Amino acid sequence: MTEQTQSDDVKKIPAQSAAPAEETLTDSRPAAAPSQDDVPEPVTADAPPAGAGPAEPAQTPSDGPATESAGTPAETVGPAAAEAAELTEAAEAVAEPVPAEATPAESVTPGPRKRLRDRRGLRAAVRWTAAVVVFAVLGGAAAYAVTQPERTEIPGLETPDDGRWTYPALKLPKLPAGQPGAMDRDNPAGRHYADLRTLLLPVPAGAKRDTSFPDRGGWLPTADFVEIYPEDVRKKFRAALDDNTLRHIAARAWTMPDGTRTEIYLVQFATEPYTTRVRNELIVPAAFAQAAHPQTDTTWSDDDSAVPKGEMVSPYNEASPRGATHLRAAYITAGDTLAVVHMEKAGTQPAVPFHQTVLLQAQLLG
């Protein structure tokens, strides 16, 4: 009878011991996760009855989890214990750090954002490439447009017309192999080894060439050359040429639309000393100037720095009052050659074309 009563009391103990556990969990703070010491130990059916003496401490396995010996909190301690367990799990989940790999948004959904950046980069590259191509095309077109028309037709770049003539691009002939230029130091004789006819100044644009001159087709007779001087000068000039080893004379002539006639003669001697003698004895003295070119002076308004080094220019300009024509002449000594530029025009002749022609012929001989 006594054993049965004790057995019945043992069966009622779990229901009575669950209430204090519920009160303890209800008073706990929800913000802090309950520790293991605060959770009430489950009471099993084998616990000794009240008044039966001190109960032996529960043996908790060290190797296995607590749930294996005590069961789930909901089944052991009721709804309050289950709610406490859920709060504990939620607090641990909040406090647990997120792995570094999952923190960036790109690691979660890398596809769409990366494709968006790629598309933006591609569009930017296309825009910059298109801009570079457009500027290159425009720059090339502008350069082509500037080079096509004449300089005088381009606004802002035009040069005021000063009356100069338009000559073709000058090109020096090729010297024989191993031969120096006429003004080189290793050529004391000042010999022009190139064909003298290839050193004649070309005909300017718009001019009509005089076909009675040999040009590149031959040499001009000495008698035809001295015809440009007055009669009392011809004999003296021809004698000076013959006495100083005259070799041959190249000549070219043309007439411009305004009526200006230009004649160029390249008189070649054996060596430079003969050319220098003819210049000093025949051309420089004032008597020759007055006889060969009456009423002329030696005014030379251009810059002598344009004349090649080693050459000398002696210009003559017919002073006013003049006759029906205006004469300008120049003598260029360059090595073994004496160049004569003879320019004449009805009325008044401008100085610019004359200076231009003389300087270009001097540069060809140098």
Q: Give the rounded percent of residues in the chain with a pLDDT score beyond 70.
A: 60
Tens-place pLDDT, residues 31-50: 444 444 444 454 444 444 44
Q: Which of 70-79, 209-218, 290-299, 321-330 has the highest mean pLDDT?
A: 209-218
Whole-number Å distance between alpha carbons of 112 and 230: 101
Is residue 363 over pLDDT 60? yes
Tens-place pLDDT, residues 278-302: 999 888 887 877 788 777 765 544 4
Q: Backbone phi, then psi, for 321, in 5-degree steps?
A: -75, 135
* Alpha carbons within 13 A on the beta-carbon side of 176: 7
* pLDDT attached to residue 208: 97
Residue 193 banded pLDDT, cuts 50, 70, 90: very high
> Is the C-alpha dihedral spanning 119, 121, 127, 130 positive or negative?
negative
Is residue 221 over pLDDT 90? yes
Whole-number Å distance between alpha carbons of 171 and 161: 25
Residue 20 banded pLDDT, cuts 50, 70, 90: very low
Q: Looking at per-residue confidence, does 229 or 59 come out higher?
A: 229
Do residues 326 and 258 touch, judged by C-beta distance below 8 A? no
* pLDDT attached to residue 149: 57
Whole-number Å distance between alpha carbons of 295 and 213: 28
* pLDDT attached to residue 90: 58
Tens-place pLDDT, residues 88-146: 665 555 555 555 444 444 444 556 666 667 777 777 788 888 888 887 878 877 666 65
C-alpha dist (Å) from residue 44 to 21, 85, 109, 303, 362: 15, 20, 51, 129, 131
* pLDDT attached to residue 21: 42
| Mean pLDDT to the nearest integer, 193-207 | 96
Do residues 190 and 271 touch, judged by C-beta distance below 8 A? yes
Provide the 10 A C-beta neighbour count for residue 323.
Answer: 10
Whole-number Å distance between alpha carbons of 198 and 174: 10
Tens-place pLDDT, residues 326-339: 999 999 999 999 99
* pLDDT attached to residue 244: 93
Q: Give the rounded percent of residues in the chain with a pLDDT score beyond 90.
A: 36
Do residues 15 and 47 touch, judged by C-beta distance below 8 A? no
* pLDDT attached to residue 78: 57
Residue with tokens 């009391």: 9
Average pLDDT of the chain, as a whole number: 74
Whether a cis peptide bond, with omega within 30° of 0, leads into 49 is no
| Mean pLDDT to the nearest integer, 243-266 | 96
Extract the tokens encoding 181: 């230029």
